[in-house]
């Protein structure tokens, strides 16, 4: 992403009205230290 910004941060900068609507729908920013990046969480299990 440009400037290491999340899509939500870009929406906040480029489209403030859209950002407010996203917040109203319950979409909110997550702190970077609260994100778990573990490869095993992304793997799909074969059934």
Distance CA 27, CA 3 (A): 21
Provide DSSP, the chain. Answer: -GGG--HHHHHHHH-HHHHHHHHHTT-----GGG----HHHHPPPP-
In a domain, 9, yes or no: yes
Number of domains in the chain: 1
pTM greater than 0.85 (yes/no): no
Domain that holds residue 38: 2-42
4-9 mean pLDDT: 88
In a domain, 47, yes or no: no
**Which among 11, 2, 8 has a CA at the least distance from the CA of 32?**
8
Share of the chain above pLDDT 90, in %: 45
In a domain, 23, yes or no: yes
pLDDT at 41: 72
């Amino acid at each position: 992403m440009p400037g290491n910004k999340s899509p939500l941060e870009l929406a906040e900068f480029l489209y403030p009205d859209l950002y407010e609507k996203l917040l109203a729908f319950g979409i909110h920013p997550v702190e970077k230290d609260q994100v778990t990046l573990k490869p095993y969480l992304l793997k799909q299990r074969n059934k």
